[in-house]
Structures are given as structure tokens and as C-alpha cells.
Amino acid sequence: MVFLRTSEKTGSCFIRTDQLDGETDWKLKVAVSCTQRLPALGDLFSINAYVYAQKPQLDIHSFEGTFTREDSDPAVHESLSIENTLWASTVVASGTVIGVVIYTGKETRSVLNTSNPKNKVGLLDLELNQLTKALFLALVALSVVMVTLQGFVGPWYRNLFRFLLLFSYIIPIRCSLELFSLSLRVNLDMGKAAYGWMIMKDDNIPGTVVRTSTIPEELGRLVYLLTDKTGTLTQNEMIFKRLHLGTVSYGTDTMDEIQSHIINSYSQVHSQNSGNSTSSTPSRKPQSSAPKVRKSVSSRIHEAVKAIALCHNVTPVYESRAGVSGETEYAEVDQDFSDENRTYQASSPDEHARVPQATKLHTPFWPENLLAPHELVALVQWTESVGLTLVNRDLTSMQLKTPGGHILTYYILQIFPFTSESKRMGIIVRDESSGEITFYMKGADVAMSTIVQYNDWLEEECGNMAREGLRTLVVAKKSLTEEQYQDFESRYNQAKLSIHDRNLKVAAVVESLEREMELLCLTGVEDQLQADVRPTLEMLRNAGIKIWMLTGDKLETATCIAKSSHLVSRNQDIHIFRPVTTRGEAHLELNAFRRKHDCALVISGDSLEVCLKYYEHEFVELACQCPAVVCCRCSPTQKAHIVKLLQHHTGKRTCAIGDGGNDVSMIQAADCGIGIEGKEGKQASLAADFSITQFKHIGRLLMVHGRNSYKRSAALGQFVMHRGLIISTMQAVFSSVFYFASVPLYQGFLMVGYATIYTMFPVFSLVLDQDVKPEMALLYPELYKDLTKGRSLSFKTFLIWVLISIYQGGILMYGALLLFESEFVHVVAISFTALILTELLMVALTIRTWHWLMVVAEFLSLGCYVASLAFLNEYFGIGRVSFGAFLDVAFITTVTFLWKVSAITVVSCLPLYILKYLKRKFSPPSYSKLTS
């Protein structure tokens, strides 16, 4: 909606957009001045006016429209931009607002930018699907063989379907013909829910949230980790570290010198103003044409600090006045500037706003390259620390308090916000005391180097600060005469009213001012590394995970953070990919890169686009060989594109981790997305599969929980398959002995019991098993490399389990038939008892680390089976109950029964235990060498 009027006297209000884009900083919105100036609220309904708005579009960063009032003479035309609009799903943080709705429903930007994220399926699930298809083919083949051996007598097709139903236990999709059945899918999903619960209950990674319960095993299969820089590897806590004036540089240990210069400078100014307040203006106006005089260090510091204190969009907020109504909030504004109640709110520019669907926008942008609100606040807080304090700001003016307590008022004539194209912001202010008009500007060095006057130090010092990991800003100014400003204002307003190509025309007018500006200073702000980033990255690298850092920051800063965080190890070379724009340049640079070995790659987003356009396969192949890759100047679209490239070209599992809305597209595109709850809001955290509070938690999440989830699910899946295969083998033996009759060996209730209370608890207790202790997994991250090879669940291990099932099923059935020939009527009870004991023993042989719940599960299942013998005796007959074959309780208590059942069970399990012992003795797994 277009913002027409507010109860705030300033004509503006703040809105909170944390529910829309995850941003925690407030956005400043400005009412249309024509309607804001109306004497009363009711006058809105008596004027004759209309709003022109552009058609609905995807781009959330811009809006073009005009407000026209026709009943005034002359007609009032006012341009509308994104700052004159209010958005759906946001909260008004100050005052009340009235507006006119222009977009609803499907026309709103949020709905237009909505895209359905893909449903993520784990690699383990895909592998199990392949094995299930193989089992289905085995089921059909076995049924056809049985019908063939029958001789296709009678209605053979009917027998074929009966055999398909009899042997359907082969496929773990269903374990019983009854309504109550447990499948492989149910077991795995319950296991995944248990893994998620264990992750969230881990005291070593507090605050971790599992938002997707379907892919915990992916944490144990990752090969590529793509990480954001700002707020992920760094804390997103900005600290002012350096002020460089060209000839002199000030660091944290010399800030007191700046403070003394500021105190002296303003004390001199105020003493001069008392007697000669008007003479300063004419002497400064012809400054541009007069011969340059080298200024003193004190005056240069004074100008630099004043520029930093004025050139921003920060607003001071006073907590003590939060409850005061808008009518009186600013009435006594210059009388209540208590420092202890002041906080700063930086409204991030609309170009800086981040959305989860940024991948669908046609205009690329570099959010991290723009000034983050925390960086803006850090600059203003620094000026306060050296004596020049921002005490008030509204739409038309701002007030600074000097060290002596005097209030300086500056009228805001124009503001030029940051955009991704300009990479700079500007402000034109008029000094209330002298009337002097000054144009201040600050921005990235790449944008400002062509705007400021010639100098021989800016480029070098920017590189030096970037190598220290500092975020740099160049600050400049230009004094304007009244005539120069009036000429600019008329051209600027005319450009803003333009309907077609408004942005281009406005930018052209502003650029006419951006010439030969006086370079004031270079600032350096540090974004500190998060806790334990270095050991965590080293652990991940030792685990065989290749780490790619995707950031919107400049190349030098990204390279410095890569080194300081040990993303690039000390003994590795770094190959910086030179900027390329054509196919030929890309070909030459790729050839140069191909000659390098074992070196990290640093490439910019623009060069990356060119390489992917002409040499996609070659570039990805070369980049995947690097131990680390740093992509700087990356847009959210490029981040998601890189993830998809790695998935497509390598087929390996990828993980993306970030903390801001600009990382959401990357997180959703990756096989496993991890979000960090940071200062940029919770949007990345809410969109991710796993949410953590600190980057260092990813080490335990992958090494411990990823390992356990994958190993346990692999064992659980194969055991459920084995459970179905063994009983199908027994059915096949039974049918073949009885002239291939399609008669079920066990009644339905026994099958339900077999799939549930008799075996479910011990089999499911495998979710508590672990092959390596957490401490060992963290101490030796190299163990993680084995997981990525997928050896815990493969066609090889599957065939081994198939052979085990065939062997055990054959032994159990043939053993029951051979040893109990004289008591053949009891063959069901004999074979079923041996089957249950075999399953319980197999679980015990598979377990590597015992948990007390596993013991409880084993004995509970055995107790349930023994107890059920007394209640389900009619189901232990062969074929139908009407045949009269019932379980003889006296028979199962004889020593002969117990001895023969034990013998069958031992023959089915003992050889497997011996083979397992020999394999572990002569070909032990890597982790067993450590645990021993």
C-alpha cells in the first residue's frame, strides 16, 4: 500500500519486517508529503487525487509511481518510490498509519516471489528404493519358479498371485497380510524421529533444532560444505578499528588522540562563533577555485569525523520515551538527550532487504557489499565515543552534540541510499549556523576511487585493510554553492517524476555531482570470527569435506578471512582467478589455473558467470580438485546455482550453511541445509533443515550425529529386509517340500506378532547402537571419510544379508522338518520358536555398543513370545485351524523340544558369528583400530 499519512509528527514511521524477510532491523518508511501536510485526517476524503503505480512485478527492491492531486492550483505531482510503500506481513513499530492499497492477493511482491522448495530425499532412501526394486524382481522370479515347478497345472495364474502374496514378505514395504503392519518405511521414519530427538537433546550443541526429520542421515554423507562468510564464519559484530587520513593512520590504541583533536577543534569553533559567526561562510565558498592549502591534521580529523557522523541513515531511539504519544514525542526534542537511554536503529536500505526467493529475481544484488545495519551503527557509535554524538534525527534534519554539549543542527536536503549498482550512499546537508551546503558520500573503494580527487594512497591502504580482514569504506565530501544546489534540485526532482527509466535518469543527475570530490578518510571496521571457527574448519577438512566460501564481500576481505579462519591452510597456495569478461580470457585463465596443483581458488562472481557460460564442465572439474574455493561478490542467485552445479556434475551430497535471508536460496537448493540464528534474523534458520546457534556446532552435528544416523539407519534398513527375507525363504522351503502348494506356513496373527512385539523392539533398538564413541569421532575426524563411500549400505552388503537370510531360513525350515519328523504336527511351533530366537540372537550379534534399553528390548520380546504361546495355541497349527492341529503346551516344555530348537538356532547363528569374528580379526574396520 502507498503510505499516505501517519500520526508521527516527523511524517515517517518504522516498520518491523522480521516476519517477512527475517531482518531484525527496522525499516524507515516515509508518508507522501502532500497528504501528510493536510490539517486534519478527515481532509483525506475531501481531496481529488489519484495514484499511478507500475504493474505488479517480481523485484521487491524498487517501486515506481506518482501521486497527483488535481484539485489544487497548480496540480501537485509527487514521485513515489519504495520508501513510500508499506508491505504486507509487517508490523508498524511507531505511531499509526493510513494508506491506499495498490496490490492485493497474487499481485503482492511476496506472493509473486513465492516458490515451492523442493522436497529433499536422502541418499539412503534412494539407495533403499533401489534395493526394494531388486527385491520385487526377486519376488516375481521366485513366484514364477514355483508355478513352473508346479507344472502350470490348473488355474496357474491364480497360483502365481497366491505365491506373490505368500512371498510378499520379501519386500519390506509390508510385513504382514493383516491390516496392522510395520514396514521398512515406518521403522526408518521412527528411527529418524529418534535421531532428531537425540540431536536436540544433546547438551554439547544447545539450541539446535531439527526442522526436517527425513534427512538426518545426510549429515553423515556430506562431501561439499558451502558456507556464507558474514555472520556465519564471522560474528556480524562490527567494531571500528581503523581511521586512515592518507598521511596518518589511527588504530584502537590511538583513538584518544582523535578525541582530543575533536575536543580542541570544537572548543575553538565555538569560541570563534561568539564573535565572528558570519565570516566563515564567504571564505569557504570559493574553496574549489582557490589554491589548495594543506590542512592541519586536527582540521582533517574534524572534517572526517563530522562526515562519518552525518553520512548514514541511523536514527537514535530513546527508550525512556517509548510510551509517550506521537503528539508530544518531539516537542521537547532538544532537551532530553540522555546517553544511557539512547540506542541506534539503522534502517537497512531496501536494496539490502533479503528474501527467500531471491533466486527468482532478475536483478542480481550483493547484500553483503552494501552497508549492513550493524556496520552503520558501529560507525555512529564510534563518532559518539570520540565526542561527536548523534542525538536526534527526523526526515528533514539531524542534530549532533559536541564534546562541549552544544547542539549542531544540519538540515537534510537530499539522501541517496545504497544500491547494488552504485555501491555508495550520499547525503546533502545544510549547516544551520553557517548556511553552508555540503555533499557527503561514502562507499566501496571500487566505486569511490573514480569519484574522489587524484591520490596515491587509497588503493594501497584499501588492500592493506582488506588483508587485515577489515571492511573498508571511503568517505568524501564536496562543498556546494546555493546556485549549484538549486540547479541540481530542479533536475533531480524532474528526473524523479519520470515514469520511464526513472532509475537511470535519477542516477545520471546524481552522477553529475559526483566529480572531483575531496577524499576525507578511509575507515576500517572489523567483523570478528566466531568462536572456534578455526578448529572446526580444520576438523571438517580432515574429515574429507571440501569447503567453499560464498560471500558478497570484496575479494581482498574474503581472501583474508579465508586465511585467518584457516579455511586455507598455512602451507597451501592461493590462486586468484583474474577478472575475465570474454571467452578467450576465460580460456587462458583456466589454462593457467590447470597448471596449479593443490592450491585454493579465489574467484569473483562476474568471472564465475563467464566461466560457467562457456566452460562449465571444465571449470567445475578443476574447482572440485581444489582443497578450498572462495567465491566473492556472489549474489544469492549465484550461490544457489553453484550448489546445483556441484550436485549435477559430481553427484556428491552438498550442505549449505548461512545466517541471512540471502543464504536461503542456497540452503534450500542444497541436499542438507543448516541455518544459524544470527543478528540478521531467523529467516535462514527457519528455512533450513537444521538450525544451530554457532558455527562450531556443525563439527559435532556431522562427526557424531551424522555418523550415528547413517550407520544406524543402514543397519536398521538391512535388518528389516533380513526379517522379511528369512521368513520368505522358510515359506519357499515349506511350499517346495509339500509339492509346491501355495499354503501359508504361518497364520496371520503369528505374522503380525513376528513383525511387531516379537522382533520390533530389539530391531528398533539398533537406533541406540554406535560403533565409535563421540569423543573418538571428534578426535579422529578422518573416520568420516569412510561414510562418504557408502559402504554401510550397498549392493554388496545387501547381497551378504540376502545370503544370510537364505542360509538361516533354509536351516530353520529343513532343521525343523528333519529333527521333528515324528512330531510333524508341531512343525509350526518348532520353526517359529527357532525363528524368533534366531532374530533375537542376530540383533545381539549386530550390536556393537550395548545400551540398557537394548537388553530390556531383547528380554521383553522373548517374554512376550513365551507368554503368547499360552494364548495363541490355535494359531500354531498347519494350514487351517479346522485341521485340528493345535499347540501342545506339554510338548514345548520337554527337554527334547528345547534341545532341538536350541540346536537349530545355534546351527543358524554360530557359523555367522565365527565368520564375523574372523573378518574382524584379519580385516578390522578403521574405527576398531582406534577403539582397541
592 CB neighbour count, 10 Å cutoff = 12
Identity of the residue numbered 771: D
How far apart are the C-alpha atoms of 719 and 564, rounded to whole Å? Answer: 47
Residue 804 contacts residue 724 (beta carbons within 8 Å): no
Distance (Å) of CA 392 to CA 92, 344, 442:
21, 10, 21
Residue 440 has phi, psi (to 5 degrees) of: -105, 145
C-alpha cell at 16: 518491523
C-alpha cell at 756: 511387531
3-state class (DSSP) for residue 915: helix
How far apart are the C-alpha atoms of 531 and 364, rounded to whole Å? Answer: 32
Residue 709 contacts residue 210 (beta carbons within 8 Å): no
**Interhelix angle 123-150/707-737, nearest 10 degrees:** 0
Residue 688 contacts residue 259 (beta carbons within 8 Å): no
Q: Describe the strand order of the beta sheet including 573-576 as a list of residue ranges.
A: 209-210, 690-692, 672-676, 653-658, 222-227, 546-550, 628-632, 599-604, 573-576
C-alpha cell at 640: 544457489
C-alpha cell at 30: 516515509
Nearest to 901 by CA among 808, 834, 852: 834
Beta-strand relationship, 628-632 and 546-550: parallel
DSSP of 419-465: -TTT-EEEEEEEETTT--EEEEEEE-HHHHTTTBPP-SSHHHHHHHH
Residue 850 contacts residue 831 (beta carbons within 8 Å): no
Residue 813 contacts residue 838 (beta carbons within 8 Å): no
Distance (Å) of CA 47 to CA 1, 53, 81, 290, 497:
19, 19, 22, 52, 21
Quick one: how far is CA 872 from the chain centroid? 54
How far apart are the C-alpha atoms of 615 and 610, rounded to whole Å? Answer: 8
- Residue 846, CA atoms < 13 Å, CB-side half-sphere: 29
Tally of helices (H runs) and strands (E runs) in the chain: 34, 28
3-state class (DSSP) for residue 242: strand
Distance (Å) of CA 570 to CA 298, 313, 534, 866:
42, 41, 12, 65
3-state class (DSSP) for residue 603: strand
3-state class (DSSP) for residue 15: strand
How far apart are the C-alpha atoms of 201 and 922, rounded to whole Å? Answer: 38
User: Which is catalytic among the residues 21, 25, 125, 228?
Assistant: 228
Distance between start and end Cα atoms, the chain: 69
Element (H, E) at 474: strand 470-480
Residue 749 contacts residue 832 (beta carbons within 8 Å): no
Per the annotation, the verdict on 228 as an active-site residue is yes
How far apart are the C-alpha atoms of 663 and 687, rounded to whole Å? Answer: 10
CA dihedral 867, 873, 875, 878 (to 10 degrees): 130
Burial of 630 (0-12, 13-18, 19+ CB in 10 A): buried
CA dihedral 698, 702, 703, 705 (to 10 degrees): 110
Question: Which residues carry out catalysis?
Answer: 228
